[in-house]
Amino acid sequence: MSSTTSDRSCGAPDVARSLVPEAYALTAEAIRRSLRVTLDDLHFEIGFRLAAQAASESKVEQTLAFLRLTRLVRRTTSRRDRSLAMALPLFLYCPLGDVHVLTATDDEAAEDAELYRAVSDQLGRDGGVGLLGPDSSPAQRQAAYAAGITVGAVDQFAADGATGYLGLVRATWNRFAFTDAYQRVLCLAEPRES
């Protein structure tokens, strides 16, 4: 099952880049109101580095941006903090085309979907947030993709052969494995256990 990318994505990196401060401020306020969490400087720094990663045109630039971000991510205290930081580019890019959040496990996908649903509702965003799970029926999967923001474990998207405008990878897989499925890939991998 694949989702379609509309003409909305034409020139998207330039448009999105110009909207970063305002979009991040609105998303941060929605997070504060819906989840009662105030984002700190580290959340914003991760968000801005993810925006820089999205704006990178070459694989070398993308890799350098990813490596800088990886060092920064090690300073975050929890998986939830990383999910909150990922909300910044998620809601920046979702008006531009289908956005998929690829997590390592189905449980993480369910947690992220609940978090992003609360923020989406606060923003008054049409479409909501869809969740792909191992027990999702074909109709539920179709509805999840129709939401525009779809959250699921990597294997759920792979099983469907999903494509979209932006893939936000929250797993420790090779980020370039997803470049054929998405116009843009942002990777905020979970730090490996020492």
* pLDDT one-digit tens code per residue, 93-131: 888 888 899 888 999 999 999 999 999 999 998 888 999
DSSP characters over the chain: ------GGGTTHHHHHHHHHHHHHHHHHHHHHHHH-----HHHHHHHHHHHHHHH--SHHHHHHHHHHHHHHHTT---HHHHHHHHHHHHHHHGGGS-EEEEESSHHHHHHHHHHHHHHHHHHT-SS-EEEE-TT--HHHHHHHHHTSEEEEEHHHHHHHT--EEEEEEESSS-GGGGTTTEEEEEE-PPPPP-
Going by DSSP bridges, is the β-strand pair 99-103/129-132 parallel, antiparallel, or unpaired? Answer: unpaired
Map tokens 């390592």 to a residue.
104
CA neighbor of 151 nearest in space, from 55, 81, 86, 76: 86
Q: pTM of the full predicted structure?
A: 0.81
Domains and CATH numbers, the chain: 10-187 (3.40.50.300)
pLDDT for the residue numbered 106:
94
Q: What residue type is 132 in one-letter code?
A: L
Per-residue pLDDT tens listing for the chain (194 residues): 444 433 333 344 555 567 888 999 999 999 999 999 999 998 998 888 888 777 776 667 766 777 777 777 776 668 898 899 999 999 988 888 888 998 889 999 999 999 999 999 999 988 889 999 999 999 999 999 999 899 999 889 888 888 777 888 876 655 446 667 777 777 776 665 54
Q: Count other C-beta atoms under 10 Å from residue 146's C-beta.
A: 13
Tokens (6 digits) for 33: 């109101």
Upper half-sphere CA count for residue 13 (Cβ side, 13 Å): 13
Q: How far is CA 164 from CA 33, 53, 89, 168, 173, in A?
A: 29, 17, 15, 11, 18
Q: Count other C-beta atoms under 10 Å from residue 175's C-beta.
A: 20
